[in-house]
Every structure is written in structure tokens, then in C-alpha cells.
Amino acid sequence: MAAKWYEVVTGSLDQKKQFKQYRARVEALPEPYRATAKALERYIMYAGGIVDGDAMVRMFSDFADLWERAAADGTPVRDIVGDDPAGFAEEFAAAYSAKQWIDKERTRLNKAIDEAERGEHR
């Protein structure tokens, strides 16, 4: 019972455990894959805007898979991220359809415009 209450306040304990496992996988990568994965993770966390914990855990698990395979195959980092690492990160995050923080503001903006058109502005 206490764990369920705690999860209401802090989020899923299972998701936190899975995220820690992801982080351990990234730490185990050889360079330059580890540094690249960390840099991209940071960018995705700031720019991705994903707020759905399940989608985030799934995305980062797949992200770790990608870098582990690249390291095992010796694939050059630039062959994966291309000339636009930010674009790569944004496309990678966009592939995980999830609720984003901006969705609420999009809905609010659309509603405000609809109300303004009808003369219902506040």
C-alpha cells in the first residue's frame, strides 16, 4: 500500500528502475558511443518534451539498443547521427508517439482562437 501512495507522488518505481538500467547500459558503452549517447540523451530530455513515463522508458531502452549494436559493429557515430545530431535526436524522439508538455498548450491555444472567433473571449 505504501509503495502505491509513493508512486502517486513520485511516479512509477518500475520506470525509475528501468531508467537506471538504461543509464547503466550507457555507462558500459565504449567511447565515443558513451559520450555521444549521453549528449543526445541530454538534448532529447530538454527538446523532446515527452512526459509519458512508459514512452520514455521504451524510447531510452531502444536508444541503448541502438548504441550497443553500433559499438558491437564498430559503426562510426556520424554514420548514425549524420551531419545534424539535433535533427537525429528530434526524429528519434518523435518516433515515440507520446504525450508532450506542449500538447496542453496547443489545446489551450486552439480553444482560445475558437472562442475569439465566436466572440466569447474573456
Q: Tell me the per-residue pLDDT of 57-104, one tens digit each, with 9 for 90 and over.
A: 999 999 999 999 999 999 999 999 999 999 999 889 888 866 666 778
Residue at 68 is within a domain: yes
Residue at 8 is within a domain: no
- Show the domain range for 32: 14-117
The alpha carbon of residue 13 and the mean position of all alpha carbons in its chain are separated, in whole angstroms, by 18
44, containing H or E segment: helix 33-47
Comparing 119 with 40, the larger pLDDT belongs to 40
Please report how the helices 2-10 and 13-27 are oriented relative to each other, as an axis angle in degrees rounded to 10.
Answer: 60
Q: Decide if 12 contacts 18 (C-beta within 8 A).
A: no
Number of CB atoms found within 10 A of residue 48's CB: 21
Specify whether the backbone of 74 is left (phi greater than 0), alpha (psi in -120 to 50) or beta: left
CATH number of the domain that residue 63 is part of? 1.10.1900.10
- What pTM does this model have? 0.72
Give the pLDDT score at 76: 97
Query: Largest alpha-carbon pair distance within the chain?
Result: 62
Residue at 31 is within a domain: yes
